[in-house]
Structure 1
Amino acid sequence: MNHQLLPQRPEMLREPAPDARRATAIGGYLTWLERTRDLAFTGYHDLHRWSVADLEGFWSSIWDYFDVRARTPYDRVLGRRDMPGAEWFPGATLNYAEHVLRPAGAAPSGMAVLARSQTRGPLELSWGDLADQVARARAGLRALGVGRGDRVVAYLPNIPETLVAFLATASLGAIWSSCAPEFRARGVIDRFSQIEPTVLLAIAGYRYGEKDIDRRDEVAAIRTGLPTLRHTVHVPYGPGDLADTVAWVDLLTGPAEPGFDAVPFAHPLCVLFSSGTTGKPKAIIHGHGGILLEHLKNHSLSWDLGPGDRMLWFTTTAWMMWNSLVSGLLVGASIVMVDGNPLHPGLDWQWRLAEETGATLMGASPGFLMACRKEGLIPAKDHDLSRLRQIGAAGSPLPAEGFRWVQEQFGPGVLLNVGSGGTDVCTGILQGNPLRPVWAGEISGPCLGVAATAYDERGNEVTDVLGELVITQPMPSMPIGFWGDTDGSRYRDAYFDTYPGVWRHGDWVRFTAATGSCTVAGRSDATLNRGGVRLGTGEFYRIVEELPEIDDSLVVHLDDTAGGPGRLLLFVALHDGVELDDALRRRITTALRDALSPRHVPDGITAMPVIPRNRTGKKLELPVKKILLGAAPSEVVSPDTLAEPTSLAAFAALASQRSAH
């Protein structure tokens, strides 16, 4: 296979702060390792190398450093290390929710949750309030018959009641799953029916921007489609009521003592669902211990969160980032729960929230950051963001121009931490931390404890060229399995079908040998192949979307079954008032040829009203490719996964026209 030319050394935008080892959580961890383990590391590269070479030493240090409390101790760190099937901390029993609420004992009056919503006024919960409500909800769920292993599901937005119900469920050893209320009934049933829940929590409606959304018909359809339900709990939020339900206030009636059932390390905590863009959503099971350890490590050592910090990251309850937001509480930080239209009443709303809530870590989608740049926003000047120390970005690649914009806006005092991970491991695989430089257009490198690298098609490790993102050693937060996959075949096929014993994540990545940093070029199943040269879709978007006439874009390659070169097709969403004429087509092709190569020049450029993305912001190249090859949209993607439900209609119409000719 031919590869692209070697990339130039990326531009360094930010060096680690001079006092990073002294003033950050990861620096404190290094000091602790030196004092208690007699382990000294010169920098992050040495630390990471140890973290994946000595898995037992590293993960036991995370256990001890964060004072994980088990009712029964573990026999050893790794009972089995083969993938799939690695066994972590056998013998240990613990509870994730107990660790989340542990700060309540030390500072019950401290702030745990700040909630901001377009449906109702601001709400705040102290640590004591949160612990009390969780104890009451635990007693209420138990009165409804919920016990260890039962499934509790939620059709709820990102509000404190959802957090309370989740922690109460986890405290009982029951299993949680949630869908955001913007999902229609069919998509919710496709997910929840797989796990046969006994209790559903739901709202009757909500407000999105200035629009009231009624969800009573959807809830009725969901209840009908889930025959295993024994109870439905109505969480009051917005107008309307739900008939024949348990009221939230009744679920929490009466005082209750806190309690946490100790469960094995690998006992299921929650079921997260894949996006469903390539078939029925996979029901991915995550365990108490794996999520606990991984999020303690990530939130402290990568995101530099701790007591006194405040985490703001816009997310819905259907995305793994909701679980990550909740876990901010594990390290004693308070969290900001936000529900509504993230762009209402304007593009700067999230920056205003960061100012209002005093966020020290703000998560932002790359699309949001690039939109702010394009609109000329100057958030650091227009808002008091003096508490902000870190901006996280995830969900899709961020172009180098986005890195430079953040640096220009906030200067060296704010770390831009771009990451890439997934629902599959419920964390980051690649990202930065305060000890790593920031390189324009590049993720700083693999996370601690994550043996990530790139393989070519023969299973050889490669650098400076695109390859498959793989993980060569087990992680505690890798899934326990898929729900209903009794023999593990679906799980093996999903991650271990290409390289036996090695996790293939499904992303196309290039590691830069000179810096150890990397770029994710899109999903590997959507990677473009022209004449034996593989092209990452992210490279196209970086160039095309810099043009002021282009708001968004998507590129696919249609293979020629007869063995020809196929067709490279570019679709663009144009800025208001812009037409796709011959002059603009020439500008696009010239920009791609000059910045990349003649191979990147598309065979056709078509204007589309909107570029299809899923709800986490990822562009849907593979579904579009399948539609253009003749598949019906309903066969390749669930409408509920689409950020804009009608975004595939124009592609289906184009495919119909092509087939007619």
Structure 2
Amino acid sequence: MTIDHAKSAPVVCWTPNPKCVSACRMTEFLTRVKEYYQRSVENYSDLYQWSVENLASFWHEVFNFMDVISSVPPATPVINENALIDTIPKWFPGVRMNYAENLLRFRNETRVAVYVVDEQGLRESVTFCELYQRVTKLARCLKAVGVTSGDTVAGYLPNGIVALEAMLAAASLGAIWSSASPDFGVKGVLERFSQLNPKVVFSVDAVRYNGKVHDNLAKLKTVINELTTTANGSCLKYCVIEPYYVSTSQQRPVLEDIPYAILLPDFLREHSGPSEEELEFVQVPFDHPLFVMFSSGTTGAPKGMVHSVGGTLLQHVKEHGIHLNLGRNDVYFYYTTVSIVILLESISSDLKVGAICRCRQCRVFALQTGWMMWNWLVTPLALGVTLVLYDGSPFIPTINALWDLVDKFGTIYYRNRESRSSEPQQSALPSWKPKVAGEWTSGSRIVRIFGWIRSVCETIVKYVISGFSPKETHSLSSLRAILSTGSPLSHHSFDYVYKHVKSDLLLGSITGGTDIISLFAGGTASLPVHRGEIQSRNLGMAVEIWDDQGKPVWNTPGELVCTKPFPSMPIYFLNDGDGVRYKSAYFSRFPDAHVWAHGDYALLNKETGGLVMLGRSDGVLNPAGVRFGSAEIYDILEVIPGVADSLCVSQYHPSVHGVERVILFVKLEELETIENGNNGSSNGVQVEHSGEDWCSLEQTIRKRIREGLSPRHVPAKIIPTPEIPVTVSGKKVEVAVKQLISGLPVKNREALLNPVALEWFRDIPELQEPWDA
């Protein structure tokens, strides 16, 4: 039993302008398929069905349509269409290409490629030409110190220009790139980098957050010392340190205690060689390793997932170019955090526009380089898109910070003229050209794409709505789309954006993940937006929802699966020679069906074609045979005054197998101390609340869940908690809490952003009391 999404009439929040639809790439691509393949393809649904039934033709067409640069073009077929997904088939055999060459294709242009921004404002702007020159110089240095194709270069870096330049320099040589954000602790970095054995590590002396500079050298010293003393030996040759905030103190960082350390300016001066040399893009196979991405590590050592050059590039240009219609006049800014819980308790309900967040507990960081959204953000350089790289809190120097950026860079680009581009490589069929000028093309105003992790939106909705409506204080005239990821975007957030931000924009909730370094479903510029739904399954992704018997279902919650191969599947896992870990991760849920089970609990709306995300499969709640996702509970709680955050999990019966009950933990707004009415305290911890006593708030929560979902959704216990544990990538840690309260062991606490918070959930008295099965 669950809330019946199918019986609720879909609410249309936004419909694209027909003129814009006719001019967008999706329409052009549909027309191309219709004419070239002589197929009856009249709408997106038809095009989607054709794409998953004709994988080889579809992906070959995307390669040509998006004008992917390769020294050896694709042969046909690009994949064996009879191959099962769990055989991890080979894509585009014979193709030779380079990821960095595609991202630097506009290297002759003087348009701005990247704006580098932090809490203090614009640090620098870098043109496409300058980016190429800087990458060229850095690539010469890497080559001079022995980095070659197949070697690994790692970054322990914030979201700044050096991370982008180092990644592109490594990729130009055919090397592999992997990164971790400076918010990672020493153990978290070592768990990842020790699997990589990098030849060069890039890092920074310090990072800035919430108006303060935080040293990074102490952690870096420990990391490098451990890497160079490993029992398996180390191939590390240099630790290159950017003096990120040296201008703050005017002092040269002390590096003597860090093995192989050298400042970036010295590294460039000593190893760059003759300046007249052009960058040589090493040509590699389509399935050559490009990125190593790591899982969160909450259930053991982080899994190293290796993604290919061609698979990553092709998926990203499809998603950004065809689905989102990004192009040469566009500015793209994606903000996310390492914490799903943005704590703004120090901000009062009557917060005024321009107020400054000085919260001691706020843990917001800019887009972290260790999460796939960073890789996803930078690839649109291949489309000529201008990026905004932001490092810092989204609420510094004021609560307006992100919206100020939208207006600032929108205005800049409104006045810019398009410069002449370098001649792209010609493909078998002509690449996309806009036929009709419109708001989604270069005809009048630029497209502005702004992305955030869902918690930023929820924070604004919950804490700022009473005193802050961006559309009242900002122009936002250039803003055309907002994307959201990290966890399901609630219905209330859709309402807030269209009421308080802008009514005429695409609000695109997206889903995919580090495992595929891309999306299963997401935003599409040519489709309407329905409240609470992801707009569509992405082209070429054979996504279905299956019930427990392995049968596809519509309008019924179930397991999200992908039934056919796609190019951005990991090519292998690190330290998994026989592929056992890989196959266990994705193909064990329905072992005889040969499908990828992603671990998401979701619903497909047959009427709209949209996807409703209901939570993680391992977090599905099943009291008395009533299955539902935790996201349904979170959606209700997000608009209840007094509730700052929540965590909903099952507790297994200690003696009766298969019996569970639902436990809801509620983090309260921290303004005024209260006590739990049941036992005088909450596991020995005082929990603060905004004025309403706990009993009254608990009754409100039960009432809202009962009315909004059903009586069977109401938790058996609702308990106040001082903090919600989250991973370093910002996800609520449901599984670990479920294990703790059920008396089961928890692995690898170091994978959490706030591991101390997990201890609070051990041996909670009211959960130790006997309960009927």
**Bin for the TM-score computed over the shorter chain:** over 0.9
Match of 2:98 in 1: 95
Deviation at 1:409, TM superposition (A): 2.9
Deviation at 1:477, TM superposition (A): 0.5
Give the distance between the partners of 2:702 and 2:596, measured in 1 at CA.
Answer: 37
Shifted more, 588-597 versus 73-82: the winner is 73-82
The question of 1:612 aligning with 2:619 is answered: no
Match of 2:283 in 1: 262
CA contact (8 A) 1:177 1:271 kept: yes
CA contact (8 A) 2:494 2:532 kept: yes
Deviation at 1:13, TM superposition (A): 1.5
Q: How does 1:50-69 map to 2 (within 5 A)?
A: 50-69=50-69
SS of the aligned residue for 1:368 comes to helix
CA contact (8 A) 1:559 1:566 kept: yes
Distance 1:209 1:241, change over 3 A: farther
The question of 1:173 aligning with 2:174 is answered: yes
Distance 1:322 1:580, change over 3 A: farther
Q: How does 1:372-521 map to 2 (within 5 A)?
A: 372-374=460-462, 375-376=464-465, 377-500=468-591, 501-521=594-614
Deviation at 1:653, TM superposition (A): 6.2
Shifted more, 23-32 versus 616-625: the winner is 23-32
* Cα deviation digits, residues 83-130 of structure 1 (max 9, x gap): 22211001111001100000223xx20110000023785211000000
Match of 2:431 in 1: none
* Unmatched tracts of structure 2, length 5 or more: 229-233, 247-252, 336-366, 411-446, 673-689
The question of 1:365 aligning with 2:453 is answered: yes
* Unmatched tracts of structure 1, length 5 or more: none
Deviation at 1:22, TM superposition (A): 2.1
CA contact (8 A) 1:204 1:241 kept: no
Give the distance between the partners of 2:42 and 2:664, measured in 1 at CA.
Answer: 47
Equivalent position amino acid for 1:360 in 2: R
Q: How does 1:62-141 map to 2 (within 5 A)?
A: 62-76=62-76, 77-79=78-80, 81-84=83-86, 85-105=88-108, 108-118=109-119, 122-141=123-142
SS of the aligned residue for 2:762 comes to helix
The question of 1:271 aligning with 2:271 is answered: no
CA contact (8 A) 2:119 2:397 kept: no
Equivalent position amino acid for 1:371 in 2: T
SS of the aligned residue for 1:392 comes to strand
Q: How does 1:297-312 map to 2 (within 5 A)?
A: 297-312=318-333
Give the distance between the partners of 1:412 and 1:656, measured in 2 at CA.
Answer: 47
Q: How many residues align?
A: 655
Give the distance between the partners of 2:744 and 2:399, measured in 1 at CA.
Answer: 36
**Which residue among 232, 238, 241 is the counterpart of 2:239?**
232
CA contact (8 A) 2:469 2:501 kept: no
Structure number with bigger Rg: 2
**Which residue among 221, 232, 242 is the counterpart of 2:255?**
242
Shifted more, 123-132 versus 76-85: the winner is 76-85
**Which residue among 336, 361, 383 is the counterpart of 1:331?**
383
Shifted more, 115-124 versus 397-406: the winner is 115-124
Give the distance between the partners of 1:562 and 1:364, measured in 2 at CA.
Answer: 43
CA contact (8 A) 1:205 1:213 kept: yes
Give the distance between the partners of 1:89 and 1:38, measured in 2 at CA.
Answer: 24
Deviation at 1:483, TM superposition (A): 1.0
CA contact (8 A) 1:347 1:372 kept: no
Match of 1:203 in 2: 204
CA contact (8 A) 1:30 1:40 kept: no
* Cα deviation digits, residues 491-514 of structure 1 (max 9, x gap): 000000122420000000111122
Distance 1:431 1:654, change over 3 A: same
The question of 1:628 aligning with 2:719 is answered: no
CA contact (8 A) 1:141 1:251 kept: no
Match of 2:404 in 1: 352
CA contact (8 A) 1:4 1:533 kept: no
Distance 1:392 1:655, change over 3 A: farther
Give the distance between the partners of 2:765 and 2:487, measured in 1 at CA.
Answer: 26
The question of 1:638 aligning with 2:750 is answered: yes
CA contact (8 A) 2:69 2:101 kept: no
SS of the aligned residue for 2:163 comes to helix
SS of the aligned residue for 2:107 comes to helix
Give the distance between the partners of 1:408 and 1:38, measured in 2 at CA.
Answer: 43
Match of 1:544 in 2: 637
CA contact (8 A) 2:153 2:178 kept: yes
Match of 2:764 in 1: 654
CA contact (8 A) 1:623 1:636 kept: no
Distance 1:660 1:343, change over 3 A: farther
Deviation at 1:645, TM superposition (A): 4.9
Q: TM-score, normalised on structure 2?
A: 0.81
Distance 1:10 1:120, change over 3 A: closer
SS of the aligned residue for 1:582 comes to helix
Distance 1:78 1:399, change over 3 A: same
SS of the aligned residue for 1:30 comes to helix
Deviation at 1:532, TM superposition (A): 1.3
* Cα deviation digits, residues 411-446 of structure 1 (max 9, x gap): 442111111110011111111212222111111121
Shifted more, 249-258 versus 419-428: the winner is 249-258
Shifted more, 621-630 versus 445-454: the winner is 621-630
Q: TM-score, normalised on structure 1?
A: 0.95
Give the distance between the partners of 1:346 and 1:660, measured in 2 at CA.
Answer: 50
Distance 1:286 1:580, change over 3 A: farther
Deviation at 1:303, TM superposition (A): 1.9
Deviation at 1:203, TM superposition (A): 1.0
Deviation at 1:657, TM superposition (A): 8.6
Deviation at 1:317, TM superposition (A): 0.2
Give the distance between the partners of 2:665 and 2:399, measured in 1 at CA.
Answer: 25
Shifted more, 400-409 versus 414-423: the winner is 400-409
Give the distance between the partners of 1:40 and 1:297, measured in 2 at CA.
Answer: 22
* Cα deviation digits, residues 556-581 of structure 1 (max 9, x gap): 11121414743311111112332552
Give the distance between the partners of 1:157 and 1:591, measured in 2 at CA.
Answer: 41
Deviation at 1:554, TM superposition (A): 0.8
Equivalent position amino acid for 1:637 in 2: R
Give the distance between the partners of 2:51 and 2:284, measured in 1 at CA.
Answer: 27
CA contact (8 A) 2:115 2:122 kept: no
Equivalent position amino acid for 1:245 in 2: A
Match of 2:372 in 1: 320
Deviation at 1:58, TM superposition (A): 0.7
Equivalent position amino acid for 1:513 in 2: K
Distance 1:235 1:651, change over 3 A: same
Deviation at 1:612, TM superposition (A): 2.1
Equivalent position amino acid for 2:608 in 1: T
Give the distance between the partners of 2:303 and 2:769, measured in 1 at CA.
Answer: 32
CA contact (8 A) 2:458 2:638 kept: no
Give the distance between the partners of 1:241 and 1:328, measured in 2 at CA.
Answer: 37
Deviation at 1:33, TM superposition (A): 3.3
Shifted more, 452-461 versus 20-29: the winner is 20-29
Equivalent position amino acid for 1:234 in 2: I
Give the distance between the partners of 2:624 and 2:197, measured in 1 at CA.
Answer: 48
Equivalent position amino acid for 2:706 in 1: R
Give the distance between the partners of 1:268 and 1:380, measured in 2 at CA.
Answer: 44
SS of the aligned residue for 1:554 comes to strand
Equivalent position amino acid for 2:717 in 1: G
CA contact (8 A) 2:72 2:94 kept: yes
* Cα deviation digits, residues 104-163 of structure 1 (max 9, x gap): 23xx20110000023785211000000001111110001111001111111011100110
Deviation at 1:236, TM superposition (A): 1.5
Deviation at 1:82, TM superposition (A): 2.1
Deviation at 1:8, TM superposition (A): 2.0
